[in-house]
Structure 1
Amino acid sequence: MKLLIPSPHLTGLLQSSSIPPHSSIPFPPSSTGTLMADALLSIVLDQLGSLIQQQIHQEVSLVVGVETEIQSLADTLQLVRVVVADAEKRQVKEELVKVWLQRLKDIAYQMDDVLDEWSTSLLKSQIERPESPSMSKKKVSSCIPSPSICFKRVAGRRDIALKIKDIKQQVDYIANQSNRFNFTTRFSNEEPQRLMTISAVDISEVCGRDKDRDTILRHLLGESCEQNLGPYIISLVGLGGVGKTTLAQLAFNHHEVEAHFDIRIWVCVSDPFIPVRIFRDIFEALYEKSSDVHNPEVLQKKIQACIDGKKFLLVLDDVWNEDYQLWEQLKNCLKCGGGGSRILVTTRNESVARMMRSTYMHSLGSLPLEQCRALFSQIAFCGKSIDKIEELEEIGKNIADKCKGLPLAVKALGSLMQSKNNKQDWENMLNSEMWELDVFEKKLSPALLLSYYDLPPPLKRCFSYCAVFPKDRTIQIDDLIKLWMAQSYLDSKSDREMETIGREYFENLAARSFFQDFEKDVEGNIVRCKMHDIVHDFAQFLTNNECLIVEDDCENLKTKLSRQKGRHATVIVHGSTRLSFSVNNARNLHTLLVVSDNWCRIDSFPLDSFQQLKYLRAMDLRGNDSIVELPREVGEFIHLRYLNLSYCSRLETLPETISELCNLQTLNVRYCLNLTKLPPGIRSLINLRHLQIRANYCMLRTLPKGVGRLTSLRTLSLFIVGDESGSDVCKIEEMRNLKELRELEITGLSKVEDAGEAEKAELKNKKQLYGLTLNFQPWTSQPVGMKEVAEALQPHPNLKSLRIAWYQEWPRWMMEPSLLQLTQLFLSYCVRCQCLPPLGDLPLLESLEIQWMQQVKNVGGEFLGSSSKIAFPRLKHLSFEDMLEWENWEVKEEKGKKVLPCLLSLKIEGSPKLTAVPDLLVQRTPPIKLFLT
């Protein structure tokens, strides 16, 4: 069945349509952030090429006569793109060039929207086609759209064609305008190379701060006779990027400081200074759990109860506010601390330190010249030969000198030059005119601009997008990559996974010092990070018109959207608030993130304004208590790729129209406590890659039939084996077709009838699966055949992370380890198991957590395994919790066999009958970190 082609009279209407000439359209107001034009054009050109090929392959025509317009548009864009690199550098000094670039970006965004609409139209046509030529006539006829649908589709294509012609005229005008600027052509279509990643700043990379560190330590550890006058406050004052936070981290983590204070608390304050948020951060640090308390009086009492009479260290990082009344609320709460307590503050503003009545104020100056050079050399010359270092050393010294003593700038340029081996490249960097730009003297470092210009277009657009995150916020790397995917920043001509490309892009940017404060998992992968204030300011400079961040003030957002063509908006909610987007320009948004500060309530979200947000690619409404159901209009968001509704505790249902979102890649409904079902139409989301649900915190009892059609799924965080009967219930056998899964949780396995049914899931054949959770759920009596079911669920040997819950007899594939790639194992609530499996033979296991094994009394040699000369050769972290009957633990290092040689930490909690920890583990050198409660 072929798709309908417009009749000649429709084509005539198209060709004779009246489109106003754009030579009379004024340029938009100038802005400071116009450095993303090349990145945007690269996306559009990739889309154009892909769509032309897709149209040819599907034998589908958009509108007769438009093909030549499309090819001409692509040719013109290529000509424009070769001068964009020159324009981006000149626009910093030349206002007219800046205006020209802004207009080009606006057109690029319009093209992105239109081409995505075209792509979606082709995708829906493909979905509606019959599955095979042998289908029955009845089935084929049922797939043929009705005349009204055909007419609507033709009209839709005609509308797209009109928009393309309109854009073509605008691009022609912009191309003609470029002639008067005499741009030079310099164009590189390079893909980012994989760099050797470097870790977060460690002590070995902190140069020239020994005296400063020792001074701060003396004030932290020394006794004070001024304690009765109020808290002893030490303020670190200095320019942004000079190393205040790094120095505070060195002091905070110093071994003498760890031993000296009963309690240590780190709070990132930033701007604005909100006492209730700071109280909540202190509470969560003290009690090691999140808090939804919003009453400051309650929080203060809980804090005081915890610190009363105890010697504490509180670090307040990045304080801006000079209001003494706000500070006094916090100070009074802390007066009950024990003698010798300290508050360490970092700030750029000396008046903040004076306002806080600092006992000691330490001004952190620029890094000495020789130390700047040493830090630069340590990074830039890493991995280079001695001959190459000698060739480049003098140039390197001169480059380091231009950083004016700012460690952040030194790190950025050092990371950049690490990948440069050509002497000419080093000389070009030294002599760049960017060092002379006045715009950077007060706030931004030329080093960041030089590092940014060196990025390939894919990395430029990914870094610039990070301006959408609020300052000082922790960034979840998985979320960041999914947001990049939603903006089509990670499309690749190769067959590699978008998620893999995104991880490489992040690591590349991290290696160039665009991110910091890395948190890693047990395998050393970065899972969370932050951006330095200066780097964040720079990202906002790049995207001044596109990325809007407002705090609690919806009127402010309305004003900004009305004045500017904002494409990405973040609203930060500090307290209960009502949101509103009833402004026309909201329709341009590609990203809407609603960020509640420590899960503050959002009382009302303007669902009636949904239709204005139809160009959204990413929408994050997490923590929104006002949403009970999404409106049907969400089905009109055909561009949407990322939808995060996690922690929307009152959400009960999703509309069936969600099936129209054929581009959707990520659907996150974790912690939606009242969500009772997913719509049957979810099986139509053929591009869905991540379906995120939390098993223990929702009312879902089954998944709809057809989940097996979602063959693009990489994450299925909850597959429910339901006990309901009927044709609309998803069976475990549907997992057979989900061959691309990377993460999977199956819950309710005690309801699987027999091993034959379990085998149909074909877990053993899922080579890509690296994370698996098998939850058998509690039972009152052992289900018949459950051991055979567990045997049939044997995963592929490539598995890296495994969780098993509510099981009572270990399957053979655990007793005779076949999971040779396993690095993480978590066993919980296996309440009838009387012994532990022989896990010591797992060669790559690094983290092992065992919880609620209530019938285990003895742990001995069987736990260590027998086949290897080293028991647990790679295990670093071992944890036992709530082993209520555990009495004896015997670990012996037999002749020729080592036991736990790499163990770093051991945690035993809730095991009242265990009398002793084996001497072999206690008497280690260096000592193991023991957590015994």
Structure 2
Amino acid sequence: MDMSSYLAVGGWFIQVIFDKYLSYQLQSWAADCGISHEMNRLRVALLRTQSVLHGAEVTPSLSYGSLPWMRELRDVMYHAEDLLDKLEYNRLHHQMQESSSTESNSSPISAFMHSRFRNQGAQASGLEPHWDRSTRVKNQMVNLLERLEQVASGVSEALSLPRKPRHSRYSIMTSSVAHGEIFGRESEIQQLVSTLLSSQVDGDNPVSVASIVGVGGVGKTALAQHVYNNTRVAQYFDMRMWICVTDAFDESRITREMLESVSSSRFRHDSITNFNRLQVALRARLVSKRFLLVLDDVWSNDKITLAIEHENWQKLLSPLKAAANGSKILLTTRSSMVAEMLQSAHITNLECLSDKDCWSLIKMIVFDDTNHLINSQLANIGSEIAKTLNGLPLAAKVVARQLKCKHTTDEWKQVLQRNAVWDEIMPIFQHSYENLPVHLQQCLAYCSIFPKDWEFEAEQLILMWMAQGYVYPDGCRRMEDIGKQYVDELCSRSFFAIQKKQFVSYYVMPPVIHKLAKSVSAEECFRIGGDEQRRIPSSVRHLSIHLDSLSMLDETIPYMNLRTLIFFTSRMVAPINISIPQVVLDNLQSLRVLDLSPCKIDRLPDSIRQCVHLRYLNISSTAINMLPEYLGKLYHLQVLNLSGCRLEKLPSSINNLVSLRHLTAANQILSTITDIGSLRYLQRLPIFKVTSEETNSIIQLGYLQELRGSLHIRNLENIDAPDEAKEAMLLVAMLGSSFHHLVSFHLSGLFGCSV
């Protein structure tokens, strides 16, 4: 992670702490616990640190001597979040006890009506806050404050040191083609040429847009250059313009360059500084002319910026409407959102090349001929080199330049072994990463814990992001929907690719993006297994382990700092009998995500009771047949996946999980939950069986206002008491209008019939 990323993430982290933990509720609780003074000091210290980071972000150059202090600040932020999260845990613990005693005196129907308007924060649990009032907690806060103030001072001092200028690493591309032939793009060339030569017009607008979308280095510009210089295309258009846009949108520069492309008098245009005058001059040049305009490397950082830029682009391109029918704009971009913003009629999604085409491109550059006869040893080495390039033409060109001056097998082997091509091209992908909003940077970096080419479902990943606090609430939409927007944005920028299998959509990171994610997250994310040879960093926070590599776990790993622990195995392999080292299990106090699904364990480790920060627990397909009662004390738990387990029932304490949003288990297991109305954030409940017991009364459903999907209410005939039946009928009528998130709603046993 470079300096600018540290600054952005540091500011984001502080804002998250403010929004999540320094609320009125927690401040009030802190006052009851006798630590309000320390909480106020923490607020002031965070504000001061945030001010320092914001000042550094707007500086055009950065001090790299401050990196050690930024790493230290990151660790302090983690510590602060853990301490405040534990304080929030105890507040929930206490509040749940108070809520339970208060609501036990109200009638079910009135409690339901009250629940529809009550403060969402008043859903918690608790014990008396003995430890909160202790000197130990106050000492922890004081130690945290001293460390934060010291680090903030160090960051401020380091940022005032002489700074290293940041130079642009990106060359401006032109319409000239470096190598006349491109490989593996025959169908794309044919489609694009056909699109550009089409005279079809959309409404009154004489100009139509075509886009080439793909990840950096995949050959978008090379393809555009090839089509731009196609003989038929050159003859078809009266005027052609090539503009390199990059990520610095400058409407005056772009307009002036368009004007210079269609005019012979450059001096006069350089003297025009007024944007409106530039547009008038451009319009005059384009009247009744058929043009081709290539906008190369168009960017947009986020949806808000995109909305603003949409109007800017419409204004910028308005003079083009004076042109003749059949005029075309061809843009290259890494973001499908940009292509949609400019209303592209044709979008070419550019995929990576095959290994064979990569090798052909290398031979063309090295030997100026794909049919050049080379000895079999060089050919074999070259083919192996091509396989390491992840199908990227840019990587093939870089490695070809390295091979061009090398003639022996030993020299080619050195190129293969060093694999230094990525050192040269990774800054291009780093630039794409740095242009992401900070929350998307966090989400993408986290994905490095998955194995290369791993296919995952969006919901699985979103729930992990939520557990880590990466999904930022907006006060209107539910967290899962915001997380889906994050996935869609990363897809639109070519960081994720979609693969459909049997009507199910999976997501996968392109190999080069997986390399990028590993690079930017190297200090915090680590995967044990496969071809990973690095030492585990002491700063690791997120760890995934292939079950074949359990022997690599030892006491040197700082398990107490882990926020993610995921076990992997091959997809088609059944759960494996393993013994997780006790040194791991005994030191997971900071854990947010735990996935034990590939492990053939028959009981949940007792040490999980200390994981008070845990939000995501997946023990699906394990041999566990009984869950401990202490599970109900994991008040922050949002996701509990029990599918495929051998459970006969759930612990009675399950209804204490007041933060639970996703509970996946067999229907017969779900139907054993009593007082399910306590799980007010629950998103899905396929079936609910009514009994004569109050704890399984239909009134319980009145609290579950967040339910999605389908709900089947069975055994309504078990409502016996006249008063309860009257309340039930009223509730059923209310459910029809209140459960507006449900796709289907089915009743059975109501007066002997089904609805």
- Shift in alpha-carbon separation, 1:184–1:107, aligned structure 2, 3 A: farther
User: Taking CA–CA contacts closer than 8 Å with sequence separation of 6 or more, which of the two structures ends up with the larger relative contact order?
Assistant: 2
The correspondence for 2:644, drawn from 663, 666, 671, is 671
The correspondence for 2:21, drawn from 51, 56, 60, is 51
Partner amino acid, structure 2, of 1:541? S
- Shift in alpha-carbon separation, 1:128–1:564, aligned structure 2, 3 A: same
Whether 1:594 aligns to 2:567 is yes
The correspondence for 1:686, drawn from 658, 676, 684, is 658
- Shift in alpha-carbon separation, 1:33–1:82, aligned structure 2, 3 A: closer
Deviations 1:341-366 (A, max 9, x none): xxxxxxxxxxxxxxxxxxxxxxxx96
- Matched-pair contact (CA < 8 Å) for 2:500–2:506: yes
Whether 1:38 aligns to 2:12 is no
Whether 1:704 aligns to 2:673 is yes
Partner amino acid, structure 2, of 1:114? L
Please give the TM-score of this superposition, normalised by the length of structure 1: 0.50
Please give the TM-score of this superposition, normalised by the length of structure 2: 0.60
Query: Structure 2: how far apart are the matches of 1:60 and 1:458?
Result: 34
Whether 1:161 aligns to 2:145 is no
Alignment match, 1:204? none
SS at 1:594 equivalent: strand
Query: Structure 2: how far apart are the matches of 1:397 and 1:99?
Result: 44
Alignment match, 1:534? 512
SS at 1:700 equivalent: helix
Task: Please report how far the alpha carbon of residue 467 of structure 1 lies from its aligned counterpart in structure 2 after TM superposition.
Answer: 1.9
Alignment match, 1:613? 588
- Matched-pair contact (CA < 8 Å) for 2:33–2:132: no
Alignment match, 1:464? 445
- Shift in alpha-carbon separation, 1:485–1:531, aligned structure 2, 3 A: same
Whether 1:662 aligns to 2:635 is yes
Alignment match, 2:76? 107
Task: Please report how far the alpha carbon of residue 702 of structure 1 lies from its aligned counterpart in structure 2 after TM superposition.
Answer: 3.2
SS at 1:764 equivalent: helix
SS at 1:480 equivalent: helix
Query: Structure 2: how far apart are the matches of 1:213 and 1:460?
Result: 31
Alignment match, 2:431? 450
Query: Structure 1: how far apart are the matches of 2:243 and 2:505?
Result: 26
The correspondence for 1:547, drawn from 525, 528, 531, is 525
- Shift in alpha-carbon separation, 1:685–1:145, aligned structure 2, 3 A: closer
- Shift in alpha-carbon separation, 1:722–1:750, aligned structure 2, 3 A: closer
The correspondence for 1:741, drawn from 689, 701, 707, is 707
- Matched-pair contact (CA < 8 Å) for 2:245–2:298: no
Task: Please report how far the alpha carbon of residue 399 of structure 1 lies from its aligned counterpart in structure 2 after TM superposition.
Answer: 4.9
- Matched-pair contact (CA < 8 Å) for 1:711–1:738: yes
Q: For this pair of structures, how many residues does the alignment match?
A: 538
Alignment match, 1:813? none
Deviations 1:135-154 (A, max 9, x none): 99xxxxxx9967xx625652
Task: Please report how far the alpha carbon of residue 477 of structure 1 lies from its aligned counterpart in structure 2 after TM superposition.
Answer: 0.7
SS at 1:675 equivalent: coil
Q: Structure 2: 5+ residue runs without aligned partners?
A: 106-124, 167-181, 191-213, 231-240, 262-292, 300-330, 344-397, 403-419
Task: Please report how far the alpha carbon of residue 453 of structure 1 lies from its aligned counterpart in structure 2 after TM superposition.
Answer: 2.4
Deviations 1:585-633 (A, max 9, x none): 011111112122123433124274423111011111223212x221333
1:246-261, aligned counterparts within 5 Å?
none
Whether 1:647 aligns to 2:625 is no
Task: Please report how far the alpha carbon of residue 639 of structure 1 lies from its aligned counterpart in structure 2 after TM superposition.
Answer: 0.9
Task: Please report how far the alpha carbon of residue 398 of structure 1 lies from its aligned counterpart in structure 2 after TM superposition.
Answer: 8.2
Alignment match, 2:161? 181
Query: Structure 2: how far apart are the matches of 1:175 and 1:120?
Result: 31
Task: Please report how far the alpha carbon of residue 211 of structure 1 lies from its aligned counterpart in structure 2 after TM superposition.
Answer: 3.2
Partner amino acid, structure 2, of 1:659? G
- Shift in alpha-carbon separation, 1:380–1:129, aligned structure 2, 3 A: farther
Whether 1:719 aligns to 2:697 is no
- Matched-pair contact (CA < 8 Å) for 2:215–2:494: no
- Shift in alpha-carbon separation, 1:214–1:775, aligned structure 2, 3 A: farther
Deviations 1:641-666 (A, max 9, x none): 11112222x11122111121111111
Alignment match, 1:509? 490
Deviations 1:819-856 (A, max 9, x none): xxxxxxxxxxxxxxxxxxxxxxxxxxxxxxxxxxxxxx
Partner amino acid, structure 2, of 1:719? I
Whether 1:72 aligns to 2:44 is yes
- Shift in alpha-carbon separation, 1:85–1:414, aligned structure 2, 3 A: farther
Alignment match, 1:633? 607
Whether 1:412 aligns to 2:334 is yes
Query: Structure 2: how far apart are the matches of 1:641 and 1:73?
Result: 28
Alignment match, 2:546? 572
- Matched-pair contact (CA < 8 Å) for 1:667–1:692: yes
Query: Structure 1: how far apart are the matches of 2:452 and 2:60?
Result: 25
Partner amino acid, structure 1, of 2:145? K
The correspondence for 1:492, drawn from 466, 473, 491, is 473
- Shift in alpha-carbon separation, 1:527–1:90, aligned structure 2, 3 A: farther
- Matched-pair contact (CA < 8 Å) for 2:70–2:155: no
- Matched-pair contact (CA < 8 Å) for 1:87–1:183: no
Query: Structure 1: how far apart are the matches of 2:460 and 2:97?
Result: 31
Tell me how large the CA RMSD over aligned residues is: 4.9
Task: Please report how far the alpha carbon of residue 66 of structure 1 lies from its aligned counterpart in structure 2 after TM superposition.
Answer: 1.6
SS at 2:677 equivalent: helix
Alignment match, 1:124? 93
Task: Please report how far the alpha carbon of residue 102 of structure 1 lies from its aligned counterpart in structure 2 after TM superposition.
Answer: 2.7
Whether 1:730 aligns to 2:680 is no
Query: Structure 2: how far apart are the matches of 1:464 and 1:440?
Result: 21
SS at 1:746 equivalent: strand
- Matched-pair contact (CA < 8 Å) for 2:526–2:542: yes
Indicate the larger mover: 155-164 or 609-618: 155-164
- Shift in alpha-carbon separation, 1:520–1:765, aligned structure 2, 3 A: farther
Partner amino acid, structure 1, of 2:635? C
Query: Structure 2: how far apart are the matches of 1:583 and 1:498?
Result: 36
Query: Structure 2: how far apart are the matches of 1:209 and 1:742?
Result: 45
Query: Structure 1: how far apart are the matches of 2:127 and 2:451?
Result: 46
SS at 2:130 equivalent: helix
1:149-298, aligned counterparts within 5 Å?
150=130, 153-155=133-135, 157-182=137-162, 209-211=184-186
Q: Structure 1: 5+ residue runs without aligned partners?
A: 1-30, 137-142, 187-206, 216-238, 247-364, 403-408, 422-435, 777-782, 792-933
Deviations 1:392-431 (A, max 9, x none): 76999685599xxxxxx9542786698799xxxxxxxxxx
Query: Structure 2: how far apart are the matches of 1:747 and 1:132?
Result: 28
Task: Please report how far the alpha carbon of residue 510 of structure 1 lies from its aligned counterpart in structure 2 after TM superposition.
Answer: 1.9
- Shift in alpha-carbon separation, 1:155–1:705, aligned structure 2, 3 A: farther
Structure with a larger share of its residues in helix: 2
Alignment match, 1:475? 456
Query: Structure 1: how far apart are the matches of 2:131 and 2:79?
Result: 25
- Matched-pair contact (CA < 8 Å) for 1:567–1:591: yes
Query: Structure 2: how far apart are the matches of 1:377 and 1:596?
Result: 50
Query: Structure 2: how far apart are the matches of 1:785 and 1:154?
Result: 58
Query: Structure 2: how far apart are the matches of 1:617 and 1:144?
Result: 20
Partner amino acid, structure 2, of 1:587? M
Query: Structure 1: how far apart are the matches of 2:18 and 2:577?
Result: 42
